[in-house]
Structure 1
Amino acid sequence: MKKHGDIRDLNRRREHVSKLQDLPSWKKSRQLPAPNATWPTCLIIGPSSVVHNWEREFQTWGYFEVGIYTGTPSEREEVLDDFKMGRLDVVLTSFDVARRDIALLDDLAWSLIIVDEVHRVKNPRAKITEAYNQFLPEAIRFGLTGTAIQNAYTELWTILNWCVPGRIGTMNQWKGYIANPLVIGQSAGATQEERAKAAVVAATLKEKLLPKYFKRRTKDLIKHQLPKKTDEVIFCPLTPKQVEVYKRILGLDEVQRLTRKDEICDCGSQKQRKSCCHPYGKGDLFKYMTTLIKVSNHLALILPSPKDSPEQTARNRELSAMAFPDGNAPKYGPAILQPQFCGKWVVLEGLLSEWSRDRTNKVLIFTKTTKLLDMLDFHLSSQSHGFVRLDGSTKQSDRMPMIDKFNQDPTIFVFLISTLAGGTGLNLTGANKVVVFDPNWNPAHDLQAMDRAYRFGQTRDVAVYRLLGAGSIEELIYARQVYKQQQMKIGYEASVQTRYFKGVQNDKSRQGELFGIQNIFKLHENTLATKMAVRS
């Protein structure tokens, strides 16, 4: 039965069900045909931040009967009942709800399943991936993402294997034939033979395998309809106080146990230090790596704050005692205002001051941490800048009105956004300036954040500014981003990339300047290591 393609389709399913229930067969069996018996059905899973945007687009571009499978259990049950009765074309839901309710969704009569931002299922052992693999194979599956390769080539296998189960071989086969040759060939230290093999593998992947299952559309298709985008990395010098604390953290006995763990113990046992007199704590790597990232951004991040949980308060008291051993650790409130605790503030305040002179400028500021959002919130308020803020605590019902307000209200200058909560799916073309305050290990998060402004519908040139703590671990994070973005180019396009780095991912014998503990716990005090590597 065909659709009309106009407003008559809006009640088409409900009227059809009503007619079926008038038939003798219904009165006898009390059973209806499968929901997709007459018209196809679709389940769309995506970030919670874009569920209502999908609903808006369906209302704009077509005549579909759409159900939102979020909210309370009773609200979700009502939507599910409507679907089972055949009253809905499309059901929209979020990642977390679909994962939790997979037992209620996996065996329903879906003609098509679409996962928006399908890179969320890139880890084959993650609970979300295991859950989504439970859907019946009868449904056609589509994954939508701008970043199918984020950290490693194996992520592409996981995504493709979800979309077309069993058609691209096993994970071990993918590693042996594709991932390993490409990673080795990307190194600046690769032999001619390794480079040649990588080139052949990349070309085969691009020309023979991916075209069967992977349709890539880039902004090149609409570049004539888009303005320009500039992407600038700003190396922000750490303040003298930040450098002092950074060095103090590097000199801690716990950190030295990590960085020197493979050395021969000085007790004469000929054993490695980690297996003899200097064992290291299991969680110390993550603990002190995270601490260095905080110090690179703002020293107040390692101070106890009023919003900290008891566990966070205890942890931050310990860190602040290490950072300020003389017992002169500042209080959190006054510290967030002190420029000597954050080298990035001077840079950001200078940018905002310049941009605010033109009342048409609008700015997106992304950061990973709620604490930094709180600090930025306070600073913007003190400078009387109009702004709105979106983080993980923002209600779904408030998000679209907030986005509309930013795009349309001339008094709103800045949109403060949590990278994880608002870095995907949002349309913020009202902005023409984007600041990434702190870089993410996964370049896809930052790239997605930038594209909130630089997307179809943007009419002004967009300028992106990434702030890095110069010489700190943030330079390593950015170098890893460059490395991973090159992986994307090689995997998608088989393009020849400049080999900036000698490091080889997952190869302990060839960690180079990118991988391993030694590169994490290092301060390039008088040089910009990443900038020099890229330039050379």
Structure 2
Amino acid sequence: MMWFAKILITLDSPLWNYCILDEGHIIKNAKSKITAAVKQLKSQHRLILSGTPIQNNIMDLWSLFDFLMPGFLGTDRQFQATYGKPLLAARDPKCSAKDAEAGVLAMEALHKQVMPFLLRRTKDEVLSDLPEKIIQDRYCDLSPVQLKLYEQFSGSHVRQEISSMVKLDDSAHPEGNSASPKASTHVFQALQYLLKLCSHPLLVAGEKMPESLVCQLHELLPPSCDILLELHKLHHSPKLVALQEILEECGIGVDASSSDNAVSVGQHRVLIFAQHKALLDIIERDLFHSYMKNVTYLRLDGSVEPQKRFDIVKAFNSDPTIDALLLTTHVGGLGLNLTSADTLVFMEHDWNPMRDLQAMDRAHRLGQKKVVNVHRLIMRGTVEEKVMSLQKFKLSVANAVINAENASLKTMNTDQLLDLFSSADTRAKGGTASKRTDGSLDEDPKLMGTGKGLKAILGGLEDLWDQSQYTEEYNLSQFLAKLNG
């Protein structure tokens, strides 16, 4: 998108009639280069299409509206002070009743502010025949080696920092963190270490380990063994054991000749998502090549050239004898159609819940004929549980701001619409408006004489078109005729 936006901008910055962003959540980061490039485009009308307008926090929504209607939600600082800080404070389980109430009021106010400009359509509304999606969380316990490494690391000097970091609204992008950038980076790296360890000890063991750690591991492993070689055994990673069980439940990797109730070939096909390519390497080497040699699979990650990715997707969809597709969430989580699969396994989880949901939508979309089963593997009592809790919080905020009421403008009456404009105006000026006992509004003195009250807004509205103008403007036959002419 960025290179296309730059090309358009270089064409003497023309004034376009319409500017439409598909997958518009890409501009959620107001400081990114692509966002800056897109916001330089000039157009009379702007539209954003996105299934996930709020991904990490409500500042994502501000960036989208800063493109659609610059200034409508104030500056980023004003928006953060009005909505972001109250919502973040209310998230803390130990927050006061006052902070909790302020968070609820902020959420309600934001929903009311943006509701008229958001049109929401869920899959249930547009795809009535789409089969169900069932999400199942499978909890695993750390293996002895993982537990030893986990306790050894989390018991170190970073434990307190990690606990404070997890409380942030977005640990991957800690806006509002008072710590120094170096400290934030250090804590995030510590969290990444623990998350990798939850998936497999080899992801953190590396080729070189401190001698003290080697001695501790030797207490848990067979004497005189090669530690790195030993850690490739399946039981040291409960997630790999759980993945094997799921595949066998789907009839994948089992010896059909020895099973009376064998599942027919292609009846269940699986997408296996991970955050790191290294984990996909381990799944290939330690599970498929060592224990499930008759599994047929393809792989799609960042090492695959972009022009070759479609061929892999096409091959998987067209060949039912291919049991599984290994993907990284970053590469395979957006824009692909993989409806030939009906089972998804998430080995690792993203701080951003929308990325995981988008990955699920690779199979649960138009064209899917089967019920889609999603298995999320979570290590009990670890930071992964906190990640899932954070995902749940982010989803609840997104669903509260953008919910079923956004289905139509009919859900708002005239008073609500007028109050919407009044609220937006007074907030932008830093003023307030209160109601008199007779029901009329008492305007902020700062706004008196500026022509910015409700009467001014009503007087400034243009007359609506009559029915004939609507018919002429949006007549498809006339539009096509003009094109042909």
- The residue that corresponds to 1:422 in the other structure is 332
One-letter amino acid matched to 1:178? Y
3-state SS of paired residue (1:225): coil
2:214 corresponds to which of 291, 299, 324? 324
1:231 corresponds to which of 107, 112, 135? 135
CA distance in 1, matches of 2:128, 2:213: 52
1:368 corresponds to which of 271, 275, 283? 275
1:346 corresponds to which of 225, 241, 244? 241
One-letter amino acid matched to 1:451? D
Deviation at 1:429, TM superposition (A): 0.8
1:489 aligns with 2:393: no
Contact 2:240–2:283 (8 Å) recurs in 1: no
CA distance in 2, matches of 1:193, 1:491: 21
Structure having greater relative contact order (Cα 8 Å, sep ≥ 6): 2
- The residue that corresponds to 1:459 in the other structure is 369
CA distance in 1, matches of 2:217, 2:382: 25
CA distance in 2, matches of 1:159, 1:363: 35
Trace 1:137-536 onto structure 2 (pairs within 5 A): 137-138=42-43, 140-185=45-90, 198-212=103-117, 214-222=118-126, 224-252=128-156, 254-255=157-158, 258=161, 283-304=185-206, 317=208, 323-325=213-215, 334-335=229-230, 337-356=232-251, 357-358=262-263, 359=265, 360-378=267-285, 379-382=287-290, 383=292, 384-493=294-403
Deviation at 1:470, TM superposition (A): 1.4
3-state SS of paired residue (1:365): strand
Any idea what the Cα deviations from partners look like across 1:240-284, whole Å, max 9, x if unmatched?
Answer: 1110111111233x43684799xxxxxxxxxxxxxxxxxx97753
Contact 1:236–1:343 (8 Å) recurs in 2: yes
Number of residue-to-residue matches in the alignment: 368
CA distance in 1, matches of 2:211, 2:351: 28
CA distance in 2, matches of 1:291, 1:194: 33
Q: TM-score, normalising length from structure 2?
A: 0.68
- The residue that corresponds to 1:126 in the other structure is 32
In 2 relative to 1, CA 474–282 (structure 1 residues): closer, same or farther, beyond 3 Å?
Answer: closer
- What is the aligned-residue RMSD (CA, Å)? 3.1
Deviation at 1:170, TM superposition (A): 1.6
Contact 1:106–1:134 (8 Å) recurs in 2: no
Deviation at 1:415, TM superposition (A): 1.0
Any idea what the Cα deviations from partners look like across 1:146-174, whole Å, max 9, x if unmatched?
Answer: 21112211111111112232333222332
CA distance in 1, matches of 2:45, 2:299: 38
Any idea what the Cα deviations from partners look like across 1:315-360, whole Å, max 9, x if unmatched?
Answer: x635x65643468698697356312321111111011011024321
Deviation at 1:413, TM superposition (A): 0.9
Q: Gaps spanning 5+ residues in structure 2: where?
A: 165-181, 252-261, 406-485
One-letter amino acid matched to 2:382? S
CA distance in 2, matches of 1:234, 1:434: 13
Q: Gaps spanning 5+ residues in structure 1: where?
A: 1-44, 46-94, 262-279, 305-315, 496-536
Any idea what the Cα deviations from partners look like across 1:362-389, whole Å, max 9, x if unmatched?
Answer: 1111101010111122233442211111
CA distance in 2, matches of 1:298, 1:166: 47
Deviation at 1:206, TM superposition (A): 3.3
3-state SS of paired residue (2:402): helix
CA distance in 1, matches of 2:124, 2:330: 26
CA distance in 2, matches of 1:460, 1:327: 45
Contact 2:127–2:366 (8 Å) recurs in 1: no
CA distance in 2, matches of 1:370, 1:173: 40
In 2 relative to 1, CA 164–321 (structure 1 residues): closer, same or farther, beyond 3 Å?
Answer: farther
